[in-house]
């Protein structure tokens, strides 16, 4: 993906077309601690007794961004859009299917060779350096803390594994860590279930701090907590960041939390970045229709827009078969004919219309944009052809149809083919993947 590949559909405005550079070194920015470049993570779908691979869940599908040293980057989006998967790739817990995560050495402390080598290709000392420096805190402290281990062993385990300390020295280091997160010596010999949710999250944070990392991936760290406890944990994270110069990748679906915590935001939709930019600019003036819908659906985010307008409607499509063009076009209020309308949309839009597909016997696809829908009788065929120009489908979808013809019992439909909508650079350090201009 380089400069000129962004789509330039006729009839739609053409935004600036510079993509984020592939090469993580071209940022030329000393402040960048970590670069994520074109990261994809696909999970195979297996079916049947033979467990044959029948498809791929494209959980993360080509994501790029930079994380600045000492700052917090918020990663937001609806459930299922790939946030946790991306967080796990960034923390080195999951190997990307393609693309890379690069930890930049500008401190001079890291082993040689770390510079711009993708984490999944790091070995030996450099790999250990990465693992120490990039920790993760999970949403669910019940499953992330071993219920049969004492707090001393949970928090002390990274120190033991990395041979940093043992015996009484380890115990004293654990006490220091517990004190940093508002707990103390009296908690050393207790089990996770003896704590409240907020305290368990403090234990998780203490464990993440054990090896004195440069960055922490926080995956919905407060989503399971009561509001009052949430605020305490957020304050703790904030204080630790200031004291230790920590860098956070903060994953959440809570826009009020992210606005409070993050200086930059990446909005994900179905495995891709819809929009990214500085927090205040993004909240004040969202570019992508998905960002706008997200803000509207979150009434507690002050000044987020017109409260009378609807938020997000409909479900997130199946990540194993993401929509063509812009992945959000199926739910977008301002979709244009250039947004990727395809045969699947015809079926999805009209399948709830009584009787529409009762007589359908098959769909012969030439591509995702071009197919014959074959019925048992010609009345049904004509009915579908008429519906494609009616009120049951969006005007922009009708306008995207290049040809539609009925031959006996078959309806031939061909949409105009559009490429995937790529992220383009807008003004003020912002990026958005939309065919419409700002």
Name the helix (H) or strand (E) containing 250: strand 247-252
What are the C-alpha distances in Å from 284 to residues 144, 277, 292? 36, 11, 10
Smallest distance, Å, CB 220 to ligand ADP? 8
Interacting stretch for ligand ADP, rule CB under 6 A, among 74-82, 100-108, 128-136, 352-360?
74-82
Interacting stretch for ligand ADP, rule CB under 6 A, among 72-80, 223-231, 378-386, 412-420?
72-80
Residue 288, token pair as written in the block: 């992508």
CA atoms within 13 A on the CB side of 152: 15
Site for ligand ADP in 266-325 (CB under 6 A): 319
Q: With the C-alpha atoms ordered 387, 390, 393, 398, is the resulting torsion angle positive or negative?
A: positive
Q: How many residues bind Mg ion (CB under 5 A)?
A: 2
What are the C-alpha distances in Å from 240 to residues 157, 235, 398? 21, 9, 54
Smallest distance, Å, CB 82 to ligand ADP? 4
Smallest distance, Å, CB 253 to ligand ADP? 8
CA-to-CA distance for 40 and 20, rounded, in angstroms?
16
- What single DSSP character describes residue 103? E
Determine if 85 is a binding residue for Mg ion (CB under 5 A): no
Determine if 85 is a binding residue for ligand ADP (CB under 6 A): yes
- What single DSSP character describes residue 26? G
Smallest distance, Å, CB 183 to Mg ion? 26
The one of ligand ADP, Mg ion, none whose footprint includes residue 319, by CB under 5 to 8 A per kind, is: ligand ADP
Q: How far from each other are the two terminal CA atoms of the chain, in whole angstroms? A: 22
Determine if 224 is a binding residue for ligand ADP (CB under 6 A): no
Candidates 6, 12, 76, 83: give the one binding ligand ADP (CB under 6 A).
Answer: 83
Q: Which of 59, 418, 15 is nearest to 269 (CA)?
A: 59
The one of Mg ion, ligand ADP, none whose footprint includes residue 57, by CB under 5 to 8 A per kind, is: ligand ADP
Q: Map residue 52 onto helix, strand or coil.
A: strand
Determine if 84 is a binding residue for Mg ion (CB under 5 A): yes
The one of ligand ADP, Mg ion, none whose footprint includes residue 233, by CB under 5 to 8 A per kind, is: none
Q: Which is nearer to Mg ion, 221 or 289 (CB)?
A: 221
Smallest distance, Å, CB 319 to ligand ADP? 5
Q: Which is nearer to Mg ion, 83 or 296 (CB)?
A: 83
- What single DSSP character describes residue 34? E
Residue 4, token pair as written in the block: 């000129």
55 φ, ψ to 5°?
175, -175
Determine if 43 is a binding residue for ligand ADP (CB under 6 A): yes
Candidates 34, 40, 81, 293: give the one binding ligand ADP (CB under 6 A).
Answer: 81
Q: Map residue 434 onto helix, strand or coil.
A: coil
Contact 371, 363 (CB under 8 A): yes
Q: Which is nearer to ligand ADP, 145 or 267 (CB)?
A: 267
| Interface with ligand ADP (CB under 6 A) | 43, 57, 59, 77, 79-85, 319
| Interface with Mg ion (CB under 5 A) | 83-84
């Amino acid at each position: 993906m380089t400069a000129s590949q962004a789509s330039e559909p006729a009839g739609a405005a053409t935004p600036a077309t510079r993509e984020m550079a592939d090469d993580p070194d071209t940022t030329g920015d000393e402040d960048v601690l970590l670069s994520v470049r074109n990261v994809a993570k696909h999970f195979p779908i297996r079916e049947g007794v033979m467990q044959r691979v029948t498809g791929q869940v494209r959980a993360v599908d080509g994501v790029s961004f930079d994380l600045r040293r000492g700052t917090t980057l918020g990663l937001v989006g609806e459930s299922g859009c790939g946030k946790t998967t991306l967080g796990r790739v960034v923390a080195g817990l999951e190997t990307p299917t393609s693309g890379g995560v690069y930890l930049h050495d500008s401190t001079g402390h890291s082993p040689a060779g770390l510079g711009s080598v993708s984490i999944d290709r790091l070995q030996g000392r450099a790999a250990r350096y990465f693992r120490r420096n990039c920790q993760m805190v999970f949403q669910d402290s019940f499953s992330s803390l071993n219920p049969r281990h004492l707090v001393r062993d949970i928090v002390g385990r990274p120190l033991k594994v990395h041979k940093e300390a043992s015996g009484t020295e380890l115990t004293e280091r654990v006490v220091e860590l517990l004190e940093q997160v508002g707990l103390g010596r009296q908690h050393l010999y207790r089990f996770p279930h003896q704590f409240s949710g907020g305290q368990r999250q403090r234990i998780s944070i203490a464990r993440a701090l054990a090896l004195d990392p440069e960055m922490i991936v926080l995956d919905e760290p407060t989503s399971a907590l009561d509001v009052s406890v949430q605020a305490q944990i957020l304050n703790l994270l904030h204080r630790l960041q200031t004291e230790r110069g920590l860098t956070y990748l903060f994953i959440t679906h809570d826009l009020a939390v992210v606005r409070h915590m993050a200086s930059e935001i990446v909005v994900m939709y179905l495995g891709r970045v819809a929009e990214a930019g500085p927090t205040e600019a993004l909240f004040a003036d969202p570019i992508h229709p998905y960002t706008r819908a997200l803000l509207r659906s979150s009434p507690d985010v002050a000044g987020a827009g017109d409260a009378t307008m609807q938020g997000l409607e409909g479900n997130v499509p199946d990540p194993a078969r993401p929509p063509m063009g812009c992945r959000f076009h199926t739910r977008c209020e301002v979709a244009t004919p250039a947004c990727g309308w395809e045969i699947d949309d015809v079926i999805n839009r009209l399948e709830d219309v009584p009787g529409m597909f009762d007589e359908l016997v098959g769909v012969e696809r030439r591509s995702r944009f071009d197919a014959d829908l074959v019925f048992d009788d010609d009345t049904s065929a004509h009915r579908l052809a008429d519906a494609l120009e009616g009120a049951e489908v969006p005007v922009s979808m009708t306008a995207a149809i290049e040809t539609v013809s009925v031959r006996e019992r078959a309806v031939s439909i061909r949409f105009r083919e559009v490429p995937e909508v790529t992220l383009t650079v807008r003004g003020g350090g912002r990026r958005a993947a939309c065919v419409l201009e700002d």
